[in-house]
A and B are shown apart, each in its own frame.
Chain A
Amino acid sequence: QSLLTQPPSVSGTPGQRVSISCSGSKSNIGGNIVNWYQQLPGRAPKLLIYSTNQRPSGVPDRFSGSKSATSASLAIRGLQSEDEADYHCATWDDSLKGWVFGGGTTLTVL
């Protein structure tokens, strides 16, 4: 059972905007940055968003991150078929003194 809760799946149609939530607590999201990783089918995870709302070089600005209190969100606008992947949130947990990941969310582009 992960300390960070994500919906198992979300879906959308091309061009649509979708959002993926990541719910935690004061000891993790509440006091630390959040990162998001994209994992295409059969591939290794790739850093998508770091420090809650920053994009690494090469990541389209269609992807954005935000945080409020003990929850974080990843938003994808202008959905494309190649966005179909698993998305994982991650943050530091002050109580565990370690990194924690959400259970992952599978995005399906209909």
Chain B
Amino acid sequence: DAGVIQSPRHEVTEMGQEVTLRCKPISGHNSLFWYRQTMMRGLELLIYFNNNVPIDDSGMPEDRFSAKMPNASFSTLKIQPSEPRDSAVYFCASSRGPGQGSWGYTFGSGTRLTVV
């Protein structure tokens, strides 16, 4: 298994531009999570999906952020418009169920986003 695949690995964009981050979870994993990591705030859960359905998006910081999971093998996190304070490493993780909290997560390698 190739693990959780994220793209791109690095993204540098200008303020105001739209940014789309992509994630392919491990086949057979029912849950998908988007986290953001910064030095100041650590790892923050943005949103998670179970069986492609968003369960909790309370961590999404603003309406500028949106996430979709059109099928079991693909998810996107979009920021529109992007701002410098969105600069962070964004991680996607997946986990299998039932009782997903009883299993470890598998993380992707992350996307390092820099908004200038």
* Same complex: no
- Taking Cβ atoms with an 8 Å cutoff, the residues of A that contact B are none
- Taking Cβ atoms with an 8 Å cutoff, the residues of B that contact A are none
